[in-house]
Amino acid sequence: MDPFSEVDLKMYFYENRLKTFEGWPFNEDCTCTPENMARAGFVHTPSENSPDIAMCFFCLKELEGWEPEDDPEKEHKSHSSSCHFIALKKKVDELSVEEFFKLHKEKHKSMIKKTGNAAITKFEEAAKLKRANIIKAAEGEE
């Protein structure tokens, strides 16, 4: 993937993140409103069974099971303390080009890590299955 594609850069902007929160279950009288969620870096990534999944566009941490009084910024920091986006002291549009490039590099690191971990999990599951089959076959031979 082109690291500077529009898709990849789009979610750096609050307005684009906010747009994803259509149908978000928490709107009034609560802390985790779409505005606060988007401000904390989250995008709404619902699935059929879980309408309240949100993912940080930057560190790709997914959180669900939100309660009305949850503070998105605090939740983000406590579940993903190494996220460079939530740790930013400035707004994205106030960063220098150099600062932005550094930040974007970190985003790619988290993407690679997530893809790598998913591949490892898949491999381990396949290996487990294979092992079970070998054992079964060996037992059959006895």
Total residues binding Zn ion (CB under 5 A): 5
Distances (CA, A) of 140 to 70, 126, 130: 54, 21, 15
Least Å distance between CB 56 and Zn ion? 3
What does the per-residue mask of binding to Zn ion show for 36-65, with x meaning CB under 5 A? --------------------x-xx------
3-state secondary structure of 29: coil
Least Å distance between CB 106 and Zn ion? 10
Q: How far apart are CA 20 and CA 17, in angstroms?
A: 6
Of the two residues 102 and 130, which places its CB atom closer to Zn ion in the complex? 102
Footprint (CB under 5 A) of Zn ion, residues 79-118 = 80, 83
Least Å distance between CB 129 and Zn ion? 33
Q: How far apart are CA 31 and CA 68, in angstroms?
A: 6
Strands 54-56 and 62-63: antiparallel
Partnered with residue 62 across adjacent β-strands are 55
Of the two residues 18 and 56, which places its CB atom closer to Zn ion in the complex? 56
Of the two residues 11 and 83, which places its CB atom closer to Zn ion in the complex? 83
Least Å distance between CB 138 and Zn ion? 46
- The b/e string for 4-43 (b: 16+ C-beta within 10 A; e otherwise) is eeeebeebbeeeebbebbeebebeeeebbbbebbbebbbb
Of the two residues 82 and 133, which places its CB atom closer to Zn ion in the complex? 82
Q: Footprint of Zn ion on this chain (CB under 5 A)?
A: 56, 58-59, 80, 83
